[in-house]
Structure 1
Amino acid sequence: MLSLIGLLGALVALIWLTLRGFNLFISAPLCALLVALTSHTAVFPITSEVNFIDAYMGGFASFVKAWFLMFLLGSLFGKLMEECGAADAVARWIVSKLGMQYAVLAVVVACAVLTYGGVSVFIVAFSVYPMALSLFKDANLPRRFIPATLAFGSVTFTMTSAGSPEIQNWIPIQYLGTSPYAAWQESLVIAIVMAVLGYVLLNWMIKQAKANGEHFESRDGDPESTNRALPHPLTGLLPLFVVLGLSYYFHDLLKQSALIVALLGGVLSLLVINWRYFSRLHHAVGYASTGALVAIGNTAAVVGFGSVAKLSPAFQEAVSVMMTMPGHELVGAAIAVSVIAGLTGSASGGQAIALPLVAPHYLDAGVSPEQLHRIVAISSGALDTLPHNGYVVTTIRAICNEKHETAYWPLALLTVVVPLLGLLLILGLFIWF
């Protein structure tokens, strides 16, 4: 019981502190320490037994090891797009062709194309943010909705859909023997519903905010508004296509490491094509490098909390309880994956923990592997985006420089509520049709 109180208390505290804007380098390890103490886990690595420091730093360091180069190159790509004026050029071209009323749609589509093309959701936010900032500025839209717009195009109807090359759609394959296109017909229906519903809600929220007097507000550190000559819009689009093409081409061969090749190709092509438009290249590189460190550090701090939480007896008991829930097997699997993803703050982490237990249990019960694959994928992408989720923290704080208290709630409506509705709909399709 003490372990359960500690786990839930620490999770609530982490969410509250995150929403209040506390430094995650302090709040995440403190909340993880609470979990360890209430679970009777040793704090220091005095013996070979499991301990708080090894568990927390193991999760922290493993995330940095796996993702630092991608974060660095992604940050460089985004900052260089901004510095040379390519992001402004693309944004103005979109506005001139589609009109300012479609600025939000342009950002969503850009994120969706990159995500479905194999670019990690973390890197999509880095890459598209400069263009999103310019579009929101030209259309005079409240900038606190930029994180929600980026997230909606990245982690909802694309990330967990059939055919997506994102890891959330590939982890189930090794446990279920399925393909990335498992249950593609139902997945297509859900993706369309989520895309339409989310886009309508996003536009409604922005219109309500504008009606209340909100508008775009410039800040220190934004690109300066000058009459300098901008490059041709194609010079901004071509590097994006380079990233997309290289990521798609090398995905099967290099897996996650394909992003290093893709982003490096994007950065080099951006430098070559727009070299004469760079005036403060040294400053841009320094700013991007620092931003990458802050972004990956914030995310790794939360990953460390999840690593400690997984070791607590309460977490193991919760997984066991969800595995034996009465009712339809697909509903049980959906609840188990959703809750675990919420506790760990990670869609992929929730799948990795739940699938070794869920897969054999439900396959033996006669559940369709294709249906289970799609349920696991979609359910992992709902409660995972609670305030302490690494992607949420990185996008809101490190990339968009916003505050959780103003930027998180629109994001939550689009990345928690909409996917949950999609999950309910696909459960209905599988169970009753």
Structure 2
Amino acid sequence: MLSMIGLLGGLVLLIILTMRGMNLLVVAPFCALLVAVLSGLPLFPQLAGENEANLVSNYMGGFSGFVAAWFLMFLLGAIFGKVMEDSGAADSVSKWIVEKLGMKQAVLAIVLACAILTYGGVSLFVVAFSVYPMAVGLFKQANLPRRFIPAALAFGSVTFTMTSAGSPEIQNWIPIEYLGTSPYAGWEVSAIVALFMAGFGYWWLRKMISRAVAKGEVFEAREDDPKVAEKELPHPVAGMLPLVVVLIISYLFHDSLEQSALIVALLGGVVAAFLLNRKYFTDFWEAVSAGTLGALIAIGNTAAVVGFGGVAKVVPAFDTAVEAMTNIPGSPLIGGAIAVSVIAGMTGSASGGQAIALPILAPHYIDAGVNAEALHRTVAISSGALDSLPHNGYVVTTIRAICGETHQAAYGAVGALTVIVPLLGLALAVILFSVGLGI
């Protein structure tokens, strides 16, 4: 009981302190300490037995493991975004989109840009880094409140694209290992759910922005915003080509290099941006330095939350919660969806929710005759719901490190689009599979 209080209390405290704008590098280990103390977990490796879990080892294991896996992608993604910003390429593309689509389509342009890159295999974090400079330009041109930029970025990246059939994102590939399916599992239902989430979510986002504008909110410029409007800008095609290069290289090398394809793709994007737009740079190396600093802040904040998850998943209460979630009576699709979604919420990771639940769920449900394709798609969609609570690494990075907003200002819209909309899509998927569609 005490362990469960510690686990839930630590999670709630982490969310509250995150919403209040506290420094995650301090808050996350403090909340992990609360979980460890109330669960009786040894604090230091010297106090634990051989190979026994302890606070320091598990927290730093999660922290350093994330940095080791993602540092180069964060670094190159941040540099790529800054290079696009400093050269004026992002501003050029944003102005072209506004001219072609009109001011009212600025939000749609951002959502589509994120969706195309995400479905093309570009990492969610990298997409946020890459599209943000363009988003600032578009919101500035359309005079829309900038606090909705994180919502636009997140909606285009982690909802109807991340967990859809055919998506190269890891959330669509993890179930393959356990269910023997393909990335196109349940594609009929997936297409319907994706269209629903895209349509309803975009309508809701536009509604929230319209209400804010009606109340007098406008775009508020900042000193560190790119100052490219007063100088000659690259041609929109030259501005767009580096994004295309990232997308193409990522697609071509995704199967052979997997995650490492992003390193090649982003490096190619930086080189393309430099070669195509070199005469428009204010200071190329200053942009590289600014991107490097941004990457360190972003990956530090995210790794801090991942470290918390590394502690949470080794305490006794977590095993109890997982066992309860994976033995929910009723429809296996509902039970699997709830289990993955709740675990993803506790760990702050969609892939983490799948990786923990599927080894337990898959054999049991497959032996019971559950359709593997339906379970694959349901699990994939459910992993992208509660994972987007305020402490999620992507959410923290996008709101704070990339967009420079506060949770108080930006998370309301982000939560609506990345938690509620996917939950509604999940319910629709379960209903469609239950009536036999796609099975």
TM-score normalised per structure 1? 0.99
1:246 aligned residue (246, 249, 254): 249
Alignment of 1:12-411 (within 5 A): 12-46=12-46, 47-48=49-50, 49-224=52-227, 226-411=229-414
Query: In 2, Cα distance between the equivalents of 1:430 and 1:376?
Result: 12
Aligned-residue offset at 1:226: 4.2
> Judging changes above 3 Å, is the alpha-carbon distance between structure 1 residues 279 and 10 closer, same or farther for their aligned structure 2 residues?
same
Picking from 406, 414, 419, the partner of 1:416 is 419
Aligned residues: 433
Provide the rounded CA distance (Å) in 2 between the counterparts of 1:282 and 1:319: 48
Structure 1 counterpart SS, 2:390? coil
CA contact (8 A) 2:158 2:384 kept: yes
Structure 2: how far apart are the matches of 1:218 and 1:346?
Answer: 33
The worse-fitting range, judged by mean Cα deviation, of 259-268 and 226-235 is 226-235
Q: Which residue of 2 aligns with 1:6?
A: 6
1:220 & 1:32 partners in 2: Cα distance?
36
The separation in 2 between residues aligned to 1:262 and 1:269, in whole angstroms, is 10
What CA deviation, in whole Å up to 9, does each residue of 1:20-61 have, x standing for no partner?
A: 000000000000011111111100111422111000000000
Using the aligned pairs only, state the percent identity. Answer: 67
Q: Is the CA contact 2:147–2:410 (under 8 Å) kept in the aligned structure 1?
A: yes
Task: Read off the aligned partner of 1:153 and give its amino acid letter.
Answer: G
In structure 1, give the amino acid aligned to 2:414: L
Q: Measure the CA separation in 2 of the matches of 1:126 and 1:349.
A: 23
Q: Which amino acid aligns with 1:354?
A: A
d(CA) in 1 for partners of 2:6 and 2:252?
46
In structure 2, runs of 5+ residues without a counterpart are none
Whichever residue aligns with residue 22 of structure 2, its letter is: F
Q: Contact 2:29/2:308 (CA < 8 Å) preserved in 1?
A: yes
1:225/1:242 CA distance change after superposition, 3 Å: closer
Write the deviation string for residues 226-262 of structure 1: whole angstroms up to 9, x where unpaired: 4210010111111101000000000000010000000
C-alpha displacement of 1:168: 0.2
Shift in Å, 1:225: 5.3
Would the aligned equivalents of 2:42 and 2:55 in 1 still touch at CA under 8 Å? yes
Q: Does the 8 Å CA contact 2:145/2:209 hold for their aligned counterparts?
A: yes
Following the alignment from structure 1 to structure 2, what is the Cα–Cα distance between the partners of residues 256 and 142?
34
Q: Distance in 1 between matches of 2:89 and 2:332?
A: 50
For 2:54 and 2:129, how far apart are their aligned partners in 1?
Answer: 35
Q: Which amino acid aligns with 1:124?
A: V
CA offsets, 1:131-181, max 9 Å, x none? 000000000000000000000000000000000000000000010000000
Shift of 1:432: 2.6
Distance in 1 (alpha carbons) for counterparts of 2:373 and 2:6 = 37
| Aligned partners of 2:326 and 2:357 also within 8 Å | no
What secondary structure, in the 3-state scheme, does the structure 2 residue paired with 1:274 have?
helix
User: Partners of 2:332 and 2:342 in 1: how far apart?
Assistant: 16
Query: How far does residue 108 in structure 1 lie from its aligned partner after superposition?
Result: 0.4
| Runs of 4 or more consecutive aligned structure 1 residues displaced over 4 Å after TM superposition | none
CA RMSD of aligned residues (A): 0.7
Which letter maps to 1:323? T
Report the CA distance between 1:282 and its aligned residue. 2.3
